[in-house]
Amino acid sequence: MRIAQAPFRAEIVPHASPVHALWHCIIQREGSTEVITRLEAMRKEDARCIALLELSRLQPPGGVRRPA
């Protein structure tokens, strides 16, 4: 699952095991391979919620400004 909120994106992926008891949330700046934040959750829905919270925290005050 991918969640994009410019200029960042979050990838929600299961842990590489047959059980999938852990979900990873990896947040990067768009166009970069640098990992800004890596979080873990026990459920996919929890990882999604964590990603949305972290993406909103990373946004500058007043939101993203785009050139006119």
Residue 42 structure tokens = 């026990």
Average pLDDT over residues 1-17: 93
Tokens 């990896």 sit on residue: 26
Average pLDDT over residues 46-63: 89
pLDDT at 68: 41
Sign, CA torsion 37/38/43/45: positive
Is 1.10.3470 the CATH classification of the domain at 2-58? no
| Residue percentage of the chain with pLDDT more than 70 | 87
| Domain assignments of the chain as residue spans, ordered by start | 2-58
CA distance 39 to 58: 14
Residue 33 structure tokens = 């391979």
pLDDT band (50, 70, 90) for residue 64: low
| pLDDT digit string, tens, across residues 20-51 | 689 999 999 999 999 999 999 999 999 999 99
